[in-house]
Chain A
Amino acid sequence: MNDGGDDAAVELFEVERDQKVWFVLFVMLSVALWAQWLGGGAAREVISEDGSGAVLALSLLPLGAAVLALVWRHPALELVVVPLSFVPGLIFLPEAEWARLGEPFALMASGLLFGMYLVVAAGRPPASELVGLPRRALEEELERSDQRSEAFRAFVMVRMVAMAAVFCVITYALFFSVPIQEHFEALEEGQVQHVFTTVLLYFGWSIVAYMGAVLPALNWEHDRRQSVLTRRERQLLASGPRLARRVALEVGAVVVVFVGILWMTL
């Protein structure tokens, strides 16, 4: 007789459990990403006798940004501010650290960690307050949005193609444009500068791709994510292992292509 109340209680329990798992994953990946990119540089600043406090503070900036993201619970903080907060620290990273980051395994680890971070940051569970919304209304909204799935797919596909085109332009500029290669070769530390520019540009492209293609895919009809997912997508989301495999395959494919390009050209 009290099925509705039981369902809400179960849903609340599941959401709270997901929130805890998300919190742990977010903290782990933020710290791992920081350790991978800036940890070595920060340790050098601490150990070195002529280390700079300002550079050390810039290195610690991402950790502060991650704490702010956890406190204020805003997607822009998790997905834009935290990734961008790495840039000042990367600018002042010692050359030896850049050389370490330029090694294939380190590049692969960086790509993998950053991909996982974006996936986790984008998948924050809904707030507990949203639990218990009228299911009937949700189902009706789902039904209506299913009728628009063709338009939805076209909207996202067009943006994905545009983002792929931007990726090709960046890759061309980084590795195949003759005048730009000559500029790099003319520099004293051309190789380090090349790695720095490559990481920065692909990093920037990841953020742009998220803003331009992934975010619209997740937030179709803006802020009404739950109600716009088609039945197939809901089934996919419900099947954790299948979704995890798909995400792992996609991230893995991106990392392999990325490392392959660097391997061939650097």
Chain B
Amino acid sequence: MRPRMYEILGVSFFLGSAFFFYRTVEFLAQADYVAGFMALVVAFLVVRAGVDISRLAVALEREQ
């Protein structure tokens, strides 16, 4: 059960990064570069977290 939960959480992080990408476009369209790049960095970090959670899911599945 735990691996499945981590798996769902990891994919949710991937999908959640879309919000930050959208905000990046919004900020850059207003020529607000600092906010735009911060939102882009957050999007990358969210995806990175999703990747690590997925790795955890794989490790737990193998352990079981």
Contact = CB atoms under 8 A, between A and B. Distances in A.
Given A197-B25, A201-B25, A166 B30 contact: no
A162 interface: yes
B51 A201 contact: no
B40 A170 contact: no
A201 B15 contact: no
Contact of A221 (B28, B30, B43, B58): B58
A193 B29 contact: yes
Interface in B32-51: 33, 40, 43-44, 47-48, 50-51
Nearest to A190: B29
A159 B14 contact: yes
A165 B47 CA distance: 13
A204 B58 contact: no
A207 B48 CA distance: 11
A173 interface: yes
A97 B24 CA distance: 23
A208 B44 contact: yes
Given A159-B11, A166-B17, A166-B18, A212 B29 contact: no
A165 B18 contact: yes
A88 to B, nearest CB: 10
Contacts of B51: 211-212, 215-216
Given A159-B14, A204-B44, A166 B21 contact: yes
B11 A170 contact: no
A169 B22 contact: yes
A21 interface: no
Contacts of A170: 18, 21-22, 25
Contact of A180 (B14, B15, B21, B29): B29
A158 B51 CA distance: 13
Given A91-B33, A177-B22, 15 more contacts: A155-B58, A162-B15, A165-B15, A166-B18, A166-B21, A170-B21, A170-B25, A173-B25, A174-B25, A180-B29, A183-B26, A183-B29, A184-B29, A208-B17, A221-B62
13 contacts: A155-B54, A165-B18, A166-B15, A169-B21, A170-B25, A179-B26, A180-B25, A184-B29, A187-B31, A193-B28, A197-B25, A212-B51, A216-B54
Interface of B: 7, 11, 14-15, 17-18, 21-22, 24-26, 28-31, 33, 40, 43-44, 47-48, 50-51, 54-55, 58, 62
